[in-house]
Chains A and B, each alone.
Chain A
Amino acid sequence: MPEAFKFELVSPERLLVSEQVESVVIPGAEGEMTVMAHHAPVMTTIKPGVVTLKTASGKEERYVVFGGFADIVPAGCTLLAESAVAVGDIDRAELARRIQEAREDAADAKDDQTRSKAEQFLNQLTTLEGAILPA
């Protein structure tokens, strides 16, 4: 049985999760990563996606996050999400609104750099939508 470590999921509004977990899958900006106990210190931004955590009691929980960053130290992992909800509670309309917004951003971006950024964000959102729709 893998060793447990402290994981915290914080959104600006409140502390969502603070418990002992075995592993966490984080949608990092440069690809998904699984964090387990004694992970080397890493700091990474995260893209919109699903965070999957396996608690010490063996339960699996999934949260949808919209951007933010993760602060990983050997003793634990803190995820600062811009906004986070449990997968079961996600508001489809809210997600659709965000996608719409991203689409508009991409449409009226002035230079190539912001456009590619906006498009990337839009891409991530639509992938996310696809990932959680069947759930």
Chain B
Amino acid sequence: MPSLKDLRNRIASVKATQKITKAMQMVAAAKLRRAQEAAEAARPYSERMGAVLANITQAIGGGGDAPALMTGTGKDDVHLLVVCTAERGLCGGFNSQIARFARDHIRKLLADGKQVKIICVGKKGFDILRRDYGALIIERVDLREVKTLGFVNADAIAKKVIHLFNEGGFDICTLFYSQFKSVISQIPTAQQIIPAGVVSDAAEAKDGGSAVYEYEPEPGEILSDLIPRNISVQVFRALLENAAGEMGAKMSAMDNATRNAGDMINKLSITYNRQRQAQITKELIEIISGAEAL
């Protein structure tokens, strides 16, 4: 049985922890709002990019002059996985969810006899994946210093990937990130970025889709300029979704922690009060029985 002093100390320490988690929750909430705004602001670009891309693909009609980034190498022996996670922990199952999802994927690929290469974006994913597949990790991108996620960050990652592709480093590239559905639910997602699968329905839905475009320069040239850009955009979107998801996960994790701390304080105070009362009663009994003995 802990003494009264021990209990007092524990209550004080839990209270201090609660204050920290509470503060973290509020910080996460503020950051979440900013991350969501950033994600929203980036949406028009990626939407239009998708529409334009679909348009051009239609114009070319999947002809032979489509760049390799789109058609792929025709093989699927070497897979490159870009696993995007957060830089920091304390956000519930956010990082491990993505890592687990990626790990399942890797296991499947390895079982099929494919070769796997991994690029880790974010420290946490690297820490988790290093244990099992450390040998497969070819690079890690550190975004720890980055305060606000800019397009340049995504562009740098995409350039690396494309560079690797041009050197024949891999055949298929898949992007792993967490899709931000709501504050309490983030869905780990795998998205294939090379070869780029283009949704051609988007063009038909748009009114301008049927117009006959003039291209300047040739469609093929535009396309080869566009595809790398589109890859950057997709990486950027993944990073933004991740940032929002991380903050959402952190917010709910910290909310839980704050609530748990509250419960713990209640329980400890009850024990504390009960023990104090027991001690008082014990002392009273001692005094009374002492008086009776006289």
* Chain A residues at the B interface, C-beta cutoff of 8 Å: 8, 10-15, 28-30, 40-45, 68-69, 71, 73-75, 78, 80, 82-83
A42 & B48 in contact (Cβ 8 Å cutoff): no
A42 & B44 in contact (Cβ 8 Å cutoff): no
Which residues on A sit within 8 Å (CB–CB) of B229?
Answer: 68, 82
B215 & A43 in contact (Cβ 8 Å cutoff): yes
B133 within 8 A of A: no
Q: Can you name the residue of chain B whose Cβ is closest to the Cβ of A76?
A: B208
Q: What does the 1/0 interface line of B39-56 toward A look like (CB < 8 Å)?
A: 001101110110110011
Which residues on B sit within 8 Å (CB–CB) of A74?
Answer: 211
A75 & B208 in contact (Cβ 8 Å cutoff): yes
B41 & A43 in contact (Cβ 8 Å cutoff): no
> What's the minimum C-beta distance from B13 to chain A, rounded to whole angstroms?
43
B216 & A43 in contact (Cβ 8 Å cutoff): yes
Q: Can you name the residue of chain A whose Cβ is closest to the Cβ of B209?
A: A73
Q: Which 4 A-B pairs have the closest CB atoms?
A: A14-B41, A12-B151, A44-B216, A41-B211
B236 within 8 A of A: yes
A42 & B150 in contact (Cβ 8 Å cutoff): no
Q: Can you name the residue of chain A whose Cβ is closest to the Cβ of B212?
A: A41
Interface size on B, residues (CB 8 A): 34
Instruction: Give Cα A11 to B232, complex, Å.
Output: 12
Known contacts: A73-B208, A83-B151. The answer to whether A43 contacts B45 by CB under 8 A is no
Known contacts: A12-B236, A78-B48. The answer to whether A30 contacts B217 by CB under 8 A is yes
Instruction: Give Cα A29 to B225, complex, Å.
Output: 12
Q: Can you name the residue of chain A whose Cβ is closest to the Cβ of B152?
A: A83
B211 & A73 in contact (Cβ 8 Å cutoff): yes
A71 & B52 in contact (Cβ 8 Å cutoff): yes
Q: Specify the main secondary structure of chain B where it touches its partner.
A: helix
Known contacts: A75-B208, A80-B45. The answer to whether A13 contacts B150 by CB under 8 A is yes
**B52's contact among A13, A29, A40, A80, by CB below 8 Å, is which?**
A80
Instruction: Give Cα A43 to B211, complex, Å.
Output: 11
B151 & A14 in contact (Cβ 8 Å cutoff): no
**A13's contact among B42, B214, B225, by CB below 8 Å, is which?**
B42
**B222's contact among A41, A45, A78, by CB below 8 Å, is which?**
A45
Q: Beyond the given A43-B213, A71-B51, please list 7 additional residue pairs across the A-B interface where CB-CB is below 8 A.
A: A11-B151, A29-B217, A43-B55, A44-B216, A69-B226, A71-B52, A82-B229
Q: Can you name the residue of chain B whose Cβ is closest to the Cβ of A68?
A: B229
Instruction: Give Cα A68 to B226, complex, Å.
Output: 8
**A80's contact among B48, B56, B217, by CB below 8 Å, is which?**
B48
B151 & A80 in contact (Cβ 8 Å cutoff): no
Instruction: Give Cα A44 to B221, complex, Å.
Output: 10
B233 within 8 A of A: yes
B38 within 8 A of A: yes
Instruction: Give Cα A8 to B51, complex, Å.
Output: 15
15 contacts between A and B (CB under 8 A): A8-B44, A12-B45, A12-B46, A12-B154, A12-B233, A28-B216, A40-B214, A43-B215, A45-B216, A45-B221, A45-B225, A69-B52, A69-B225, A71-B52, A83-B151
Of residues 24 through 75 on chain B, the ones whose CB sits less than 8 Å from some CB of chain A are: 38, 41-42, 44-46, 48-49, 51-52, 55-56
Which residues on A sit within 8 Å (CB–CB) of B45?
Answer: 10-13, 15, 80
Which residues on A sit within 8 Å (CB–CB) of B213?
Answer: 41-43
Which residues on B sit within 8 Å (CB–CB) of A14?
Answer: 41-42
Of residues 135 through 153 on chain B, the ones whose CB sits less than 8 Å from some CB of chain A are: 150-151
Instruction: Give Cα A14 to B46, complex, Å.
Output: 10
Instruction: Give Cα A73 to B209, complex, Å.
Output: 10
Q: What does the 1/0 interface line of B211-251 toward A look like (CB < 8 Å)?
A: 11111110101100110010011001000000000000000
> What's the minimum C-beta distance from A26 to chain B, rounded to whole angstroms?
11
Instruction: Give Cα A82 to B228, complex, Å.
Output: 12
B44 & A10 in contact (Cβ 8 Å cutoff): yes
Q: Can you name the residue of chain A whose Cβ is closest to the Cβ of B40?
A: A14
Instruction: Give Cα A42 to B41, complex, Å.
Output: 26
**A43's contact among B42, B56, B150, B233, by CB below 8 Å, is which?**
B56
